[in-house]
C-alpha cells in the first residue's frame, strides 16, 4: 500500500475522526456553547482542505486497495467540493442557530443543537469517499452514509411539522431509490460476476446476448441515481423536501447530494456507454430523461412565489444541464463530459451557496422564505441585496459570472457532439431561467420594503459572502485555476 | 410421494370447513339481542373500560431495541474478518489488526455517545 | 435441485410486491416495511448469483459481502426512519400519506 501516511484516504480518515471527536465533545461537555462544535468543525475542515491540495496520488498503484479507490484529478476535485460545501453549510448553520433553537430545544438553551454541526462532517466524509469510489460496494456504502445522515438532518427540527414531513418524504423516496439502485447493482453483478466498475466494463464488452437484462439493470441504476440528482421524473420529492428542510440542509442537499449523484453517475455510466452494441439504447434513455428534466425544471420554476421552492426547481433544471453534459461524446472539445460536469458543479456550488446564505440571514429577520420577503432588500441591506443579485444572475447564466462559463462549456460540448434537440431545449430553458431568477432581483431593487429595519450580518457570514461574490466573478472571467485542478 | 400428504390435506379441509360452517350456521340461526348503552355497561363488580385497548409502549423501549439492533448487526462484519484472520495474519499483520481495531473503536465511540446521552437509562 | 431461475423469480416477486406496496399502501409504517422487502429481494438474488456463478469452483464472495453491507445499511435506515416516523406521529397524530400536505406548490 506504499507509504501509509501520504495516502489520499487519510483525508477521509481525518474527517471521520474529526466527526467522532466533535461527537464526544458534544456528549461530554453538555454545558459548552454548541457553536464551539461548529467552529472546531470549520477549522478542522479548513485544515483538510489545505492538506488535500498537498496530497498527491501514489505512484505505485499495484496493491489491490487502489483497484477500488480512485486517485485521479476528478476524485481530488470532488473531495474539495465536498469539504468546501460542508464548511459553507456549517457557516450557514451557525447563522441559523436561533431558528433551530426555536424548533429543537424547547426550553433548554441550545439543547440538542450539537449534532446539527457534527452530522455535516460525517456527510462530508461520505461525499469524499464517494469521490474516490469506483466499485459498487464502496459506492453503495458511501452513498448510504450520505443519504442516512441527510434523513436526520432534513427532519432535524422535530417540533416543526414541515421539517418532519419533508424528512418522511425524503426518507421514503430515498429508500425507494436505494432499493432500485441496489437491485440494479444485483443484476449487474449477476451478469458480469464483478463489482469493480473497470472489470464490469470489460465483462460487458464480452457479454453475448442478454441485452434486455443489461438494459434492465441500467434502467434500475439510472432510476436510483435519478432520485439522487433530482432528474425528472424522479424529482417529486425535491420541492417539498427543499421547502421543509432547515435552510442550511437544503443548501447541502442542493450541492452535496447533487455532486455525489453526479460523480457516481460519471463513473457508473462509463462502462455502460462504452458498450458498443447497446450504446444507442443507453443514450436514448439518457436523452429522454435529460430533455424532460431541463424543460420541467425551468417551466415549473416560473410560477413559484417561495424562494426555497424556486431554488428547488432551479436545482432540477441545473441537474438537466449537467445530465446534458453526460449524454455527450465529445469529438474535438478538449474537456471530457466528466470534467465539464465537475466544473459546472464547482460554479454551481459558489452561486447556490451565495443564494442560500443570503436566504438564511434574511429568514432570521423576516421569518419567511417567500420572494415577497426580499422586497426592497437593497434599502435594508445593500450588501445582502448585491450578494443575492450576483447569486441569481450567475444562476441565470449572465456573462462574466461563473454560472455563464458552466453553461457555456455544456453548450459547447452539446454542439460538439451534435445534440441539437437537447441544445434547443437547453436554450429555451436558460432563457426562461432569466425570467424567474430576475424576478427575485426585481423584488429586491424595485419594490417597496414592508419594514425598514437594517439586517445585521455576523462577521463570519460577511466574510463568507464576500469570498463567494469574489469567487463567482473572478472564476467567471478567469476559470484557469479550476480548469487547472481538473486537467493538470 | 406427494400423495402421502393427502390425509393431512383432508384433515386441514375438514378443520377449516367445520370452523367456517359453524360460524355461518350461528349467524343464520341465532338471533342477535337488542343492545342499549345501559346493557353494554359493566355489571356490578366489572371493570369500567378506561383508555385504549392496546397499552402504549414507552419510547425508551423503542430506543433500547433500536440500539440493540444496530450494535447487533455490526457483528456481521466480524465474521468474514474472523474467517480470514489466520491466513492474512502471516502476510499483512498490521492492516488486518488495525482495520478491525478501528472498526471497534468507532463502535466504542458510538457506545460512549449513547451512554453519555442517557439513552440506556430506564428511569428518568 | 433448485435452479438459479427459481431464486430470481422469487426475488423478482419480492421486489414487485415491495414496490406495489410502496405505491398502493397509505400507512407510512407499511410503506417502510415494503421498502425493506425490496432490499431483501436484492439480497436474495445476490446470494443466488454468488452461489451459482462460481469462480474456480468457489462461490463469488463479492456478492455476499455486498449482502452484509446491505443488511447493515438497512438496519441503520430502519433506526433513523422509525425515529422520524415516531416524531411525525407525535406531532401530527397520524401516519397516513394523505395527511402529508402542509406544503403545496
ipTM at complex level: 0.95
Cα-Cα-Cα-Cα torsion A144, A148, A151, A153, nearest 10 degrees, comes to: -110
Is A214 in contact with C81 (CB distance < 8 Å)? Answer: no
**Residue B75: inside a domain:** yes
Which grid coordinates belong to A319? 441537474
Residue of B nearest to A115 (CA): B113
Q: Which domain holds residue B108?
A: 59-116
Cα separation, C15 vs A207, whole angstroms: 26
Residue of A nearest to B116 (CA): A27
Q: Where does C1-105 have alpha helices with state H? A: 4-24, 28-52, 61-92
How remote is the C-alpha of A434 from its chain's centroid?
22
Cα separation, A19 vs A160, whole angstroms: 26
**Residue B14: inside a domain:** no
- Percentage of residues of chain A with pLDDT beyond 90: 65
Which grid coordinates belong to C38? 425490496
**Residue C35: inside a domain:** yes
**Confidence at residue A1, expressed as pLDDT on a 0 to 100 scale:** 45
Taking an 8 Å Cβ-Cβ cutoff, which residues of chain A contact chain B?
1, 16, 20, 23-24, 27-28
Computed on alpha carbons and rounded to an integer, the radius of gyration of chain C in Å comes to 18
**Residue B110: inside a domain:** yes
Is A360 in contact with A248 (CB distance < 8 Å)? Answer: yes
**Residue C105: inside a domain:** no
Cα separation, C66 vs A195, whole angstroms: 9
A27 closest CB neighbour out of B95, B106, B112: B112
Bridge partners (DSSP) listed for residue C96: C27
Is A275 in contact with A205 (CB distance < 8 Å)? Answer: yes
Q: Which domain holds residue C55?
A: 4-99
Residue of C nearest to A169 (CA): C100
**Confidence at residue A358, expressed as pLDDT on a 0 to 100 scale:** 94
Burial-class residue A412 by CB neighbours within 10 Å (0-12, 13-18, 19+): middle
Q: Is residue A288 scored above 90 in pLDDT?
A: yes
**Residue C69: inside a domain:** yes
Which among A82, A472, A467, A57 is positioned nearest to A264, based on CA atoms? Answer: A82
- Average pLDDT, integer, range A5-26: 89
**Residue B22: inside a domain:** no
Query: What is the end-to-end Cα distance of chain A in Å, rounded?
Result: 24
Q: Using CB atoms and an 8 Å cut-off, which of residues 78-107 of chain B contact chain C?
A: 80
Tell me what the pLDDT averaged over chain A comes to. 90
Contact state of C72 with B66 under an 8 Å Cβ cutoff: no
Q: Is residue A56 scored above 50 in pLDDT?
A: yes
Q: What is the pTM of this model?
A: 0.89
Cα separation, B27 vs B24, whole angstroms: 5
Q: Is residue A179 scored above 70 in pLDDT?
A: yes
SS3 call for A110: coil
What does chain C come to in residues? 105
Residues A3-15 have pLDDT tens digits of 556 678 889 999 9
Q: Is residue A2 scored above 50 in pLDDT?
A: no
CATH number at residue C22: 1.10.287.3510
CA distances from A208 to A220, A277, B92 (A): 21, 10, 39
Which grid coordinates belong to A335? 474537456
Give the total number of structural domains in chain C.
1
Give the total number of structural domains in chain B.
1
**Residue B6: inside a domain:** no
**Residue C104: inside a domain:** no
Partners for C (CB, 8 Å, 3+ pairs)? A, B
Residue of B nearest to C79 (CA): B66
Residues A367-401 have pLDDT tens digits of 888 888 888 888 888 999 999 999 999 999 999 99
Cα-Cα-Cα-Cα torsion A4, A23, A102, A145, nearest 10 degrees, comes to: 50
Angle, helices A73-100 vs A258-273, to 10°: value is 150
Partners for A (CB, 8 Å, 3+ pairs)? B, C
DSSP 8-class letter at A44:
H
Contact state of B106 with A16 under an 8 Å Cβ cutoff: yes
**Confidence at residue A355, expressed as pLDDT on a 0 to 100 scale:** 95
Q: What share of chain A is helix, strand, coil (3-state, %, to 5)?
A: 80, 0, 20
Q: Is the dihedral of CA A240, A245, A248, A254 positive or negative?
A: negative
**Confidence at residue A334, expressed as pLDDT on a 0 to 100 scale:** 81
Partners for B (CB, 8 Å, 3+ pairs)? A, C
**Residue C78: inside a domain:** yes
**Confidence at residue B56, expressed as pLDDT on a 0 to 100 scale:** 65
Lowest mean pLDDT among A7-11, A464-468, B50-54, B104-108: B50-54
Amino acid at each position: 500500500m506504499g507509504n501509509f501516511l501520504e495516502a489520499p484516504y487519510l483525508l477521509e480518515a481525518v474527517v471521520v475522526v474529526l466527526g467522532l471527536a466533535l461527537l464526544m465533545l458534544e456528549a461530554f461537555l453538555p454545558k459548552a456553547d454548541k457553536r464551539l462544535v461548529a467552529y472546531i468543525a470549520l477549522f478542522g475542515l479548513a485544515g483538510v482542505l489545505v492538506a488535500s491540495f498537498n496530497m498527491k496520488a501514489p505512484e505505485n498503484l499495484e496493491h489491490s486497495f487502489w483497484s477500488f479507490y480512485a486517485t485521479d484529478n476528478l476524485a481530488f476535485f470532488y473531495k474539495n467540493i465536498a469539504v468546501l460545501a460542508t464548511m459553507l453549510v456549517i457557516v450557514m448553520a451557525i447563522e441559523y442557530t436561533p431558528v433551530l433553537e426555536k424548533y429543537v430545544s424547547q426550553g433548554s438553551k441550545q439543547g440538542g443543537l450539537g449534532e446539527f454541526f457534527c452530522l455535516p462532517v460525517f456527510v462530508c466524509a461520505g461525499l469524499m469517499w464517494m469521490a474516490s469510489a469506483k466499485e459498487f460496494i464502496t459506492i453503495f456504502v458511501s452513498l448510504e452514509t450520505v443519504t442516512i445522515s441527510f434523513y436526520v438532518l432534513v427532519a432535524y427540527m422535530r417540533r416543526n411539522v414541515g421539517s418532519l414531513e419533508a424528512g418522511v418524504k425524503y426518507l421514503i423516496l430515498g429508500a425507494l431509490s436505494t432499493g432500485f439502485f441496489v437491485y440494479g447493482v444485483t443484476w449487474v453483478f449477476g451478469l458480469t460476476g464483478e463489482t469493480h466498475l473497470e472489470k464490469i466494463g470489460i465483462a460487458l464488452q464480452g457479454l453475448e446476448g442478454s441485452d434486455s437484462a443489461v438494459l434492465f439493470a441500467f434502467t434500475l441504476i439510472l432510476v436510483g441515481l435519478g432520485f439522487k440528482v433530482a432528474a425528472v421524473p424522479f424529482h417529486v420529492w425535491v420541492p417539498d423536501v427543499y421547502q421543509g428542510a432547515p435552510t442550511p440542509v437544503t443548501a447541502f442537499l442542493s450541492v452535496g447530494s447533487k455532486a455525489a449523484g453526479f460523480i457516481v453517475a460519471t463513473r457508473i455510466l462509463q462502462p455502460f456507454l462504452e458498450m458498443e452494441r447497446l450504446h444507442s439504447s443507453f443514450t436514448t434513455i439518457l436523452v429522454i430523461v435529460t430533455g424532460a428534466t431541463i424543460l420541467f425544471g425551468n417551466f415549473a420554476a416560473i410560477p413559484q412565489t417561495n424562494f426555497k421552492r424556486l431554488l428547488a426547481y432551479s436545482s432540477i433544471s441545473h441537474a438537466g444541464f449537467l445530465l446534458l453534459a453526460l449524454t455527450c461524446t465529445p469529438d474535438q472539445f478538449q474537456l471530457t463530459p466528466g470534467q465539464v460536469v465537475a466544473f459546472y458543479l464547482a460554479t454551481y456550488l459558489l452561486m447556490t451557496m451565495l443564494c442560500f446564505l443570503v436566504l438564511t440571514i434574511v429568514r432570521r429577520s423576516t421569518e419567511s422564505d417567500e420572494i415577497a420577503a426580499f422586497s426592497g432588500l437593497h434599502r435594508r441591506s445593500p450588501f445582502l441585496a448585491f450578494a443575492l443579485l450576483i447569486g441569481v444572475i450567475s444562476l441565470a447564466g449572465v456573462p462574466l459570472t461563473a454560472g455563464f462559463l458552466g453553461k457555456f462549456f455544456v453548450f459547447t460540448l452539446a454542439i460538439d457532439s451534435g445534440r441539437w434537440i437537447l441544445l434547443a431545449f437547453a436554450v429555451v430553458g436558460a432563457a426562461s431561467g432569466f425570467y424567474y431568477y430576475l424576478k427575485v432581483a426585481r423584488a429586491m431593487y424595485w419594490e417597496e420594503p414592508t419594514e425598514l429595519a437594517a439586517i445585521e450580518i455576523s462577521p463570519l457570514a460577511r466574510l463568507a459572502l464576500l469570498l463567494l461574490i469574489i469567487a463567482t466573478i473572478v472564476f467567471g472571467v478567469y476559470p484557469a485555476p479550476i480548469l487547472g485542478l481538473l486537467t493538470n | 410421494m406427494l400423495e402421502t400428504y393427502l390425509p393431512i390435506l383432508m384433515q386441514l379441509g375438514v378443520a377449516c370447513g367445520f370452523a367456517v360452517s359453524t360460524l355461518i350456521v350461528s349467524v343464520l340461526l341465532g338471533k342477535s339481542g337488542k343492545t342499549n348503552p345501559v346493557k353494554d355497561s359493566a355489571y356490578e363488580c366489572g371493570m369500567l373500560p378506561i383508555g385504549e385497548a392496546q397499552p402504549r409502549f414507552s419510547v425508551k423501549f423503542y430506543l433500547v431495541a433500536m440500539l440493540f439492533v444496530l450494535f447487533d448487526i455490526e457483528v456481521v462484519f466480524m465474521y468474514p474478518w474472523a474467517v480470514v484472520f489466520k491466513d492474512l495474519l502471516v502476510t499483512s499483520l498490521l492492516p488486518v489488526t488495525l482495520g478491525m481495531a478501528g472498526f471497534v473503536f468507532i463502535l466504542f465511540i458510538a457506545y460512549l455517545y449513547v451512554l453519555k446521552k442517557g439513552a440506556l437509562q430506564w428511569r428518568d | 435441485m433448485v435452479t438459479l431461475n427459481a431464486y430470481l423469480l422469487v426475488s423478482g416477486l419480492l421486489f414487485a410486491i415491495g414496490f406495489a406496496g410502496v405505491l398502493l399502501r397509505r400507512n407510512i409504517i407499511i410503506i417502510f416495511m415494503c421498502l425493506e422487502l425490496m432490499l431483501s429481494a436484492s439480497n436474495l438474488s445476490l446470494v443466488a448469483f454468488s452461489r451459482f456463478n462460481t469462480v474456480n469452483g468457489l462461490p463469488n464472495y463479492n456478492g455476499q459481502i455486498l449482502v452484509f453491507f446491505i443488511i447493515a445499511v438497512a438496519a441503520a435506515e430502519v433506526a433513523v426512519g422509525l425515529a422520524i416516523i415516531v416524531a411525525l406521529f407525535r406531532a401530527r397524530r397520524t401516519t397516513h400519506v394523505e395527511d402529508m400536505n402542509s406544503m403545496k406548490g
